[in-house]
């Protein structure tokens, strides 16, 4: 769960309480710590709801077609609990069957209610007199405090890179430190782009006595949302480095961590110290998932974008759902719409973009900046504003008119500025629409940020079918031309490389030959790695490996042709 938008969480808390005939007491801006307390109250409510729902599940019977049976049927075949369930289902002895049912109920547990914070979304806030508040009232700081003060025993996923102030602030909350027996009530997960990022961030936190329980490796381009593109390093070689240096990472960090705990006089069971490594970004088949587990030794694999087609578990409005389900490769693109200035994977002609273009045509570009989470641009007057806002675009238009004589150049420059979209409203609108919560004066147009992998899925489905697809029991891929996840990511990186080359040639870009050379060399190293690795992918049939090799060869030829345009 993203916990940056406290206003959204407060409205959802009201919605769920009233839906369950419970009293709702609003947390207003007059509260001494409104933002953090709204987040804490929402998380505590969700925790309570899940506990109640799970207790109800455990108290139900193993009737045909029941939710309890459905729970066990969704488990993977290699699960010990799934095997026990099958044993119970096939058992004819009533007494033994009842004992197995008791055992099954005693050995299931709900999943972890994890939260996410984009570390860069940490804007300074101001008091009623316009004076900046202390850093603990920054957006991400307040969200962190809201999570830390909640009843949850779960993880906080930190994405978008290191934020030293935010990381240091975590030291203020005891739940992030281990108990005497090594348990962590609140765990830290960080998204990383490569091994170096894991080592740097892990060391920074370990020196403060904070342990990273999971390193989540994410593809730079083959993922949803913001795309934090690296220097051309591909997912396969990155995972290979983690596989080879995992013990080194653990030993290095454990030594630093134990020293820091010693200074804080915190005793713990050092044998309980461990971390997991996970990966996400473009995974689409059970065979890809199995290869990641076996070959690289990752502990878990993330599936994101395909779940946008599962209304049962996602808040996606009908208009957006239809557009996602019918989207092909050409409908998905790396867009410039994020006010953060980071490339953003998006769907062409999503409702928010259509609204944006309509405003531009009417001569009223930009959005009212109500939430201000992305109000970070200070090029005008030094006061932070959002680049998707009406205020910013008015100032930008005035600046360009004063400095540009050529009308066409003005139009081009302003059109680029007006591409930004209000993600604060767009990415939350679906949740309001689906739950029939009034938005008042806020826009109801939705933004959506699926990864490129969604192009190969089109069936609007349910949770059981999606889980069955993940574990290879059925196949939900509707576009049979879908490339392997590693090949797809490579294609995306080569396209990105070509785009950067063209930018350097056709404009006064800051892109250097050194950057392009490094990017090219990393891509070529990745291609060589895949040439040696493809024969080892025993999870795929021979004809699939052959297709991968042919596609790899074609991509290499394209890259070699591009290389003649730079000094490699």
Ordered DSSP codes for 15-52:
HHHHHTT-------TTSSSHHHHHHHHHHHHHHHHHHH
pTM for the full predicted model: 0.96
Judgement on whether residues 393 and 321 belong to the same structural domain of the protein? yes
Judgement on whether residues 444 and 496 belong to the same structural domain of the protein? no
- The single-letter DSSP state of residue 474 is S
Judgement on whether residues 430 and 497 belong to the same structural domain of the protein? no
Q: How far is CA 128 from CA 26, 39, 131, 522, in A?
A: 21, 22, 7, 51
What is the reported pLDDT for 349?
96
Assess if residue 183 is contained within a domain.
no
Instruction: List % helix, strand, coil for the chain (3-state, nearest 5).
Output: 50, 10, 40
Judgement on whether residues 429 and 516 belong to the same structural domain of the protein? no
Judgement on whether residues 450 and 334 belong to the same structural domain of the protein? yes
Render the burial of 322-349: b for 16+ CB within 10 Å, e for the rest. Answer: ebbbebeeebbebbebbbbeebbbbbee
254-296 confidence digits (pLDDT tens):
999 999 999 999 999 999 999 999 999 999 999 999 999 999 9
Distance, in Å, from the CA atom of 6 to the CA atom of 207, rounded to the nearest integer, reads 31
51, 83, 106 - which closes a domain: 106
Assess if residue 352 is contained within a domain.
yes
Distance, in Å, from the CA atom of 205 to the CA atom of 166, rounded to the nearest integer, reads 11
Range of the domain at 381: 305-470
* pLDDT < 70 regions, the chain: 566-568
Cβ contacts of residue 526 below 8 Å, gap of 6+? 232, 233, 234, 236, 237, 490
Assess if residue 193 is contained within a domain.
no
- In three-state secondary structure terms, 93 is coil
Judgement on whether residues 407 and 548 belong to the same structural domain of the protein? no
Helix (H) or strand (E) holding 157: strand 154-159
Judgement on whether residues 428 and 514 belong to the same structural domain of the protein? no
Structure tokens at 273: 């110290």
418 half-sphere exposure, CB direction, 13 A CA radius? 22
Assess if residue 84 is contained within a domain.
yes
Residues 292/315, Cβ–Cβ less than 8 Å: no
Assess if residue 295 is contained within a domain.
no
Judgement on whether residues 438 and 557 belong to the same structural domain of the protein? no
470, 499, 534 - which closes a domain: 470
Judgement on whether residues 454 and 494 belong to the same structural domain of the protein? no
Judgement on whether residues 495 and 466 belong to the same structural domain of the protein? no
What is the reported pLDDT for 154?
98
Q: How far is CA 362 from CA 355, 358, 359, 411, in A?
A: 11, 6, 5, 15
- In three-state secondary structure terms, 145 is helix
Comparing CA positions, the residue from 350, 355, 349, 346 lying closest to residue 449 is 346
Judgement on whether residues 399 and 544 belong to the same structural domain of the protein? no
What is the reported pLDDT for 567?
54
Residues 239/279, Cβ–Cβ less than 8 Å: yes
- In three-state secondary structure terms, 444 is coil
421, 442, 470 - which closes a domain: 470
**Pairing state between β 344-347 and 332-335:** antiparallel
Distance, in Å, from the CA atom of 368 to the CA atom of 388, rounded to the nearest integer, reads 9
Judgement on whether residues 330 and 438 belong to the same structural domain of the protein? yes
Residues 182/169, Cβ–Cβ less than 8 Å: no
Radius of gyration of the chain (CA): 25
What is the reported pLDDT for 568?
45
Q: What are phi and psi of 333, to 5 degrees?
A: -150, 160
Looking up tokens 């090949």 gives 487
Sign of dihedral through CA atoms 314, 316, 318, 321? Answer: negative
Count of the separate structural domains present in the chain:
3
Looking up tokens 């080879």 gives 244
Assess if residue 287 is contained within a domain.
no
What is the reported pLDDT for 177?
98
Q: How far is CA 37 from CA 156, 226, 326, in A?
A: 17, 28, 41
């Amino acid at each position: 769960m993203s916990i940056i938008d406290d206003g959204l969480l407060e409205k959802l808390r009201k919605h769920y309480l009233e839906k369950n005939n419970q009293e709702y007491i609003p947390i207003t801006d007059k509260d001494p710590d409104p933002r953090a307390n709204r987040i804490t109250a929402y998380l505590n409510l969700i925790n309570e709801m899940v506990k109640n729902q799970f207790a109800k599940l455990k108290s139900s019977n193993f009737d045909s077609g029941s939710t309890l049976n459905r729970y066990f049927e969704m488990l993977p075949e290699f699960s010990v609990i799934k095997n026990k369930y099958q044993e119970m289902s096939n058992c004819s002895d009533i007494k033994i069957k009842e004992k197995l049912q008791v055992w099954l109920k005693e050995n299931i547990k709900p999943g972890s209610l994890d939260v996410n914070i984009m570390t860069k979304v940490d804007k300074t806030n101001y008091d009623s007199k316009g004076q900046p508040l202390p850093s603990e009232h920054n957006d991400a700081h307040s969200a962190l405090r809201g999570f830390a003060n909640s009843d949850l025993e779960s993880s906080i996923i930190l994405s978008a890179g290191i934020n030293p102030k935010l990381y240091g602030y975590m030291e203020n909350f005891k739940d992030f430190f281990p108990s005497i027996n090594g348990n962590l009530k609140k765990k830290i997960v960080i998204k990383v782009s490569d091994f170096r990022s894991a080592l740097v961030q892990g060391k920074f936190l370990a020196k403060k006595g904070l342990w990273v329980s999971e390193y989540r490796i994410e593809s730079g381009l083959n993922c949803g949302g913001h795309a934090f593109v690296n220097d051309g390093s591909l997912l396969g070689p990155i995972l290979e480095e983690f596989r080879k240096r995992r013990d080194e990472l653990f030993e290095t960090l454990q030594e630093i961590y134990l020293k820091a705990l010693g200074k804080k006089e915190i005793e713990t069971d050092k044998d309980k110290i461990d971390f997991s490594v996970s990966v996400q970004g473009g995974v689409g088949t059970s065979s890809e998932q199995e290869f990641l587990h076996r070959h690289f030794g990752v502990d878990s694999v993330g599936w994101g974008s395909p779940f946008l087609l599962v209304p049962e578990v996602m808040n996606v409005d009908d208009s957006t759902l239809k557009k996602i389900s019918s989207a092909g490769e050409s409908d998905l693109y790396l867009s410039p719409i994020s006010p953060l200035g980071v490339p953003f994977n998006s769907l062409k002609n999503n409702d928010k973009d259509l609204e944006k273009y309509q405003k531009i045509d009417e001569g009223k570009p930009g959005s009212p900046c109500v939430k201000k989470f992305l109000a970070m641009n200070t090029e005008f007057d030094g006061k932070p504003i959002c680049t998707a806002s009406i205020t910013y675009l008015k100032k930008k238009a005035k600046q360009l008119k004063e400095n540009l004589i050529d009308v066409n150049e003005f139009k081009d420059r302003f059109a680029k500025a007006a591409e930004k979209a209000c993600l604060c409203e767009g990415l939350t609108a679906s949740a309001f629409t689906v739950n029939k919560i009034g938005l008042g004066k806020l826009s109801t147009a939705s933004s959506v940020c699926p990864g490129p992998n969604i192009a190969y899925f089109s069936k609007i489905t349910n949770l059981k079918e999606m889980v069955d697809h993940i574990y290879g029991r059925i196949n939900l891929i509707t576009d049979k031309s879908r490339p392997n996840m590693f090949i797809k990511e490579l294609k995306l990186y080569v396209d990105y490389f070509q785009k950067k080359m063209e930018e350097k040639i056709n404009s006064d870009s800051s892109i250097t030959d050194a950057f392009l050379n490094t990017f090219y060399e990393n891509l070529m190293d990745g291609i060589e790695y895949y040439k040696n690795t493809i024969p080892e992918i025993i999870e795929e049939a021979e004809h699939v490996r052959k297709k991968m090799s042919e596609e790899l060869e074609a991509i290499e030829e394209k890259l070699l042709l591009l290389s003649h345009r730079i000094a490699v």
